[in-house]
Amino acid sequence: MNGVLERTLGILELLSQHGEGMELAAIADTLDIPRSAVHRLLADLVRLGYVRQARGHGDYLLTTKLVSMGLSYLSNTGIVDIAQPLLNRLAEVSGELVRLSVVDGDRLTWVARAQGARQGLRYDPDMGSDARLSCSSSGWAWLSTMSDDEALALVAKQGIGQPEQFGPAAPATLQELLAAVQATRERGWSMTTDTYTAGLSAMSAPVRFAGQPAFGVLTIAGPTVRFNAERMASLGAELLSTAQQLAALSGASPFFQLTAETGKSASNDGRKPIYAV
């Protein structure tokens, strides 16, 4: 890892995965950076308020400054304001966790959620993480809007998730992944069980206009013991309807608008939100 900027971002990304903090030596060894260089970069990050050092044992941790920046950005794009009422309604109807992820380059990042489960088992992961495209329902839904070659190229950048790393039913080969993506295209929404996490089922639909790239993905997820294939099938129409409503409202968000306006189709002039699978 070379270059001051690349090394600095590498440290920030690494610390974001370790909420308990990391020692300087562990950071240097993980990123393969000389300890003296890591010490200088950490000192700058501490001075600028992005990192703090825990008292007593010297571990370095992120402060909330980056989180604050991210939340401010999402607030200014209008994504959450537009999506939250629709997410809340779908969570109430489904009784499960509903999440919205947005497409940002070659990444799919979860940015908003609504929890429908009021008691019993709940699935409630952290926001801000990127979806593993090869084994998450949101990943399959996004990949289904592309050609097979485009989907495989995107997965290759991230790597394919193996069953021992994720859920026991995670696709182990590109052929298995393509079969899942093709089934998603035919259905219009993805359906997974034990692929991303053992004991978790999920279904997702892309948010987009016909003939254009997806600019978001809407997901319902819950424990497999109650969120089974039959339950997911019963919610398919509701999921697609909510995704269509999100597409229709996308013009009110600068972030969504810039993405949705790319490659408008001549057939509907980019105004009519429909789903072509």
CATH number for the domain spanning 151: value is 3.30.450.40
Separation between Cα atoms, residue 164 and residue 171, nearest integer Å: 11
Strands 107-115 and 97-104: antiparallel
User: Same domain, yes or no, for 172 and 140?
Assistant: yes
In a domain, 243, yes or no: yes
Classify residue 130 as exposed, middle or buried by CB count within 10 Å of its CB (0-12, 13-18, 19+).
middle
Say if residue 14 is in the same domain as residue 122.
Answer: no
Rounded to two decimals, what is the model's pTM?
A: 0.69
Residue with structure tokens 């909330």?
Answer: 64
Whether residue 105 is found in the same domain as residue 234: yes
Same structural domain, 230 and 119: yes
DSSP conformational letter for 160:
P
Number of domains forming the structure of the chain: 2
Indicate if 97 and 137 belong to the same structural domain.
yes
Do 227 and 128 have their domain in common? Answer: yes
**270 domain residue, yes or no:** no
Query: First vs last Cα of the chain: how many Å apart?
Result: 41
What's the domain range around 26? 4-63
Q: What is the pLDDT along the chain (277 residues), one digit of tens a residue?
A: 578 999 999 999 899 888 888 999 999 999 999 999 999 999 999 999 999 888 756 799 888 787 667 656 655 666 667 788 999 999 999 999 999 988 878 888 888 888 886 654 444 555 556 788 999 999 999 999 999 999 999 999 888 866 677 889 999 899 999 999 999 999 999 999 999 989 999 999 999 877 778 889 999 999 999 999 999 999 999 999 999 988 887 665 555 555 545 434 333 444 333 222 2
CATH number of the CATH domain containing 58: 1.10.10.10
**Residues 52, 94 within the same domain:** no
In this structure, the answer to whether residues 120 and 197 fall within a common structural domain is yes
Residue 232 confidence (pLDDT): 97
Which residue, among 214, 215, 220, 139, has the nearest Cα to 181 in the 3D structure?
A: 139
Domain end point (choices 12, 36, 63): 63
Do both 28 and 99 map to the same domain? no
Distances 227 to 81, 199, 200 between C-alpha atoms, Å: 28, 10, 8
Residues 128 and 46 in one domain: no
